[in-house]
Amino acid sequence: MKPRVHGLYYNPTFVTPKEREAVVSWLSTLRPIWEERFSDHNPPPEGESQRWLLRPVYWLGSWQFACLNYYCPPSGIAHRCVKAEPFPEVLAQMVSKIEIMSRKIFMPSEVPEGWKLNVCLINFYGSKIEDGKRIDTARVGEHKDFEPGPVASLSLGERALFQFVASQKAGDPAKVVSEQWLDDGSLQVFGGNRWKKQFFHRVQRVDRKGGFQFPIQVENFETRRVNFTFRYVPDAHVSRYRLLPADARSDVKRYMLQLAAGSKFFASELK
């Protein structure tokens, strides 16, 4: 893997053709869901309104439902990560390699005790089809990933323009401090203060030139890129659905039911 600067690594050809084939075939068995940002017990704050996320998602390891708010230690840890399915073998093997590599690349102080890549957010990028029209939703606004330690990102499909940005004073556009086109089959790993804590990151746009399309089971959506971000959440911060407080259980029940329709794991969590 080629270091660009300390804490930011990119390998354009990390995924082998055999791994890629296995991942794409496994992806076609998933039923990603669309989530709404808020819920009955977590309504939109003053000045904001309910909204759908821009894209369908699937989480492995533990699920961070948007309406329970995302994992954000040290204050936002309770009841935000709900036990989800384990990684399929092909991802588990790639993750083991990434963990070994990351431990060599990062300084010990940048890798928290107990760190392992035990959570994965799978984002599906493409176009929503509404009334016969295609609406491109392939982007992510600037944000930070608050899970501790390095984050690893695997990309499949159309290349995406990924940027780290520094926030400016109110009203000024964010300043781009680093950018990288993330190619089909690539791995990006970022960690340390600068890339995790100081700067935000975003996906500015996703190309169309490669002609990629994934047969994903989501109605009214065409997927041209899939991204996997692997993160670390301590096991002690992951709740079983049945042990969530009643309000949280009620807010996410509809998603659990949708997931249960396509997953034995979620069906058994609901029993």
Q: How far is CA 196 from the centre of its chain?
A: 15
Q: Minimal distance in Å, beta carbon 229 to ligand AKG?
A: 4
HSE value, Cβ hemisphere, 13 Å, CA-based, for 30 = 23
Residue of 14, 162, 199, 232 that binds ligand AKG (CB under 6 A): 162
Cβ partners under 8 Å of residue 25, min gap 6: none
Site map (CB under 6 A) of ligand AKG, residues 88-127, x = contact: ---------------------------------x-x----
* Dist CA 92 CA 156 (whole Å): 17
CA angle 227, 230, 231 (to 5 degrees): 140
Secondary structure E strands in 69-108: 81-83
Decide: is 145 part of the binding site for ligand AKG (CB under 6 A).
yes
Which span sits near ligand AKG by CB under 6 A: 16-24, 71-79, 154-162, 263-271? 154-162
Return the range that interacts with ligand AKG (CB under 6 A); candidates 47-55, 85-93, 153-161, 251-259.
153-161
CB of 108 to ligand AKG, least distance (A): 25
Q: Is 66 in the site for ligand AKG (CB under 6 A)?
A: no
User: Which C-beta is closer to ligand AKG: that of 83 or that of 231?
Assistant: 231
Q: Rounded to an integer, what distance in angstroms lies between the CA atom of residue 63 and that of residue 106?
A: 27
Q: What is the rounded distance in angstroms from the CA atom of residue 255 to the CA atom of residue 63?
A: 11
Give the residue with the Cβ less far from ligand AKG, 214 or 244: 214
The candidate with the shortest Cα–Cα distance to 179, out of 165, 199, 168, is 165
Q: Please give the residue ranges that form the binding site for ligand AKG (CB under 6 A).
A: 121, 123, 140, 145, 153, 155, 160, 162, 182, 201, 203, 227, 229
